[in-house]
Amino acid sequence: MKRIIFLLTLLLMIGCTSNKKESKIIPNYEKEYNYNSDVLKNSTPNKLLLKEETNEIEKNLSGIFKNSETAMNLKLRLFINEKGKLDYLKFIKWQDSLPQSNITKRMVLNLLENQTFVKLKSDGKNIKYAFDISLNPKGAIDEDEFAVAAEKMPSIIGGIKSLASKIIYPEKARKEGIQGRVFIRAFIDSTGNVVKADVFKGIGHGCDKSALSAVKKLRFTPAENHGKKVNAQVVVPVLFRLK
């Protein structure tokens, strides 16, 4: 009797095992999706997701974050399948202080799921790949991506003369005899544009605001490392001196 019960139990276990769906475990998504592999070395995020598409995503994200007082900077890792569609999304940088952040993340995911990405090939076959992208829906930048030192640092196109032509001496400061230097920290992208600027050290009396406005209007030659144009940050001294 015991032997019959044992055989029936064994048959039942075999039957359950055969009907069970086999699951695939991926311990390392980055490896599975060719993240940072040689296949991707010549493919920048701009090539994988067109600038126009990035701008459209940022525009839609701005609607999601319209009630937020905080300038947002998101860094995402996208895992793309052979058909050029999003499989997985990892949030590398995110401000969790946002209310209902899980709901908001779901909205970000919905936006990206509707995108079609570049299909990458290796040995003639479409492959899965992963890459990082930064999105700035409210005009934020990731300051860590702007080098404080480079082989060739940014320089003002037109030099000091160009800067001087853009400075407006505040009337209040002029009347009170205020003179001195305002130091503006400028973040210059790889095309030479000032994407952000703030007052590093000021003297007040309207001079800080005037100096900030002048620096934002400047164009720079971009920084370079190993012959490649890179993002960099510089401190620009702006002199206010009465004649």
Q: Strands 223-225, 232-240: parallel, antiparallel or unpaired by DSSP? A: unpaired
Separation in Å, CA 103 to CA 28, 97, 140: 26, 13, 21
112-160: per-residue pLDDT in tens? 888 888 888 888 899 898 888 776 655 556 677 899 999 999 999 999 9
Please list the alpha-helical segments (H only) found in 2-86: 2-19, 29-32, 45-48, 51-64
Class for domain 144-240, per CATH?
Answer: alpha beta
- Give the pLDDT of residue 149: 93
Low-confidence ranges of the chain (pLDDT < 50): 2, 5-12, 14, 17-21, 50-51, 69-71, 99
pTM: 0.49
The amino acid sitting at 47 is K
- Residue pair 48/131 in contact by the 8 Å Cβ criterion: yes
- Residue pair 140/204 in contact by the 8 Å Cβ criterion: no
- Residue pair 57/134 in contact by the 8 Å Cβ criterion: no
Q: What residue spans define the domains of the chain?
A: 29-140, 144-240
